[in-house]
Structure 1
Amino acid sequence: MKSERKVQGAQWYITLPKDWRRGHGVEKGDTMDAIFEPDSVMILNPQNRQLSALEGKLIGILTALPGLVDTRELIDGLREIVDDLAST
């Protein structure tokens, strides 16, 4: 599944392909919290920095997985990884 990263303020969010959005009732402009709540895929980026290659790959993998795994557990794990990366 192709995805792209965009910046809005100090937050990164994922834009999902139009055919996926249409099939899941997602409207243009919806935030990831609105789409996946409580399984949010939003990544906070307080320094407004470029994502590392590792972070980008992890996010790309996650956007392809919803429905195949327990996304809540996976999202929590990703947040811990991103927090660890941000603190280094």
Structure 2
Amino acid sequence: MTRRHHFHLDHAGHSVSVTVQTGHGAAVVVLVDGKETGYVKLSGDRPVTVAVELPTDPPSQAVVRVTPGPDAPHCVLEAPGAEPQVMPPRAY
């Protein structure tokens, strides 16, 4: 059964949203300010890292670490100059 889990965090004035789709066609999609900046297909319950670019001046690199299961997914945003931040679930 396919299920989508949504996470959201505001960081450095930018909106970072993650959708983790489990089940058939499992994947992670990362949006920064509403634009898709990262996509990774999932393979089982293995954690994945999705590299993204934040549109700061100058642009900065960040990563979203996703642990898809076996229960509910878990997402952490790691950006330069900031402590890793757990991304809270978002009801959509």
TM-score (norm 1): 0.30
Q: Which has the higher contact order (CA 8 A, sep 6+)?
A: 1
TM-score (norm 2): 0.29
Bigger fraction of residues in strand: 2
Bigger fraction of residues in helix: 1
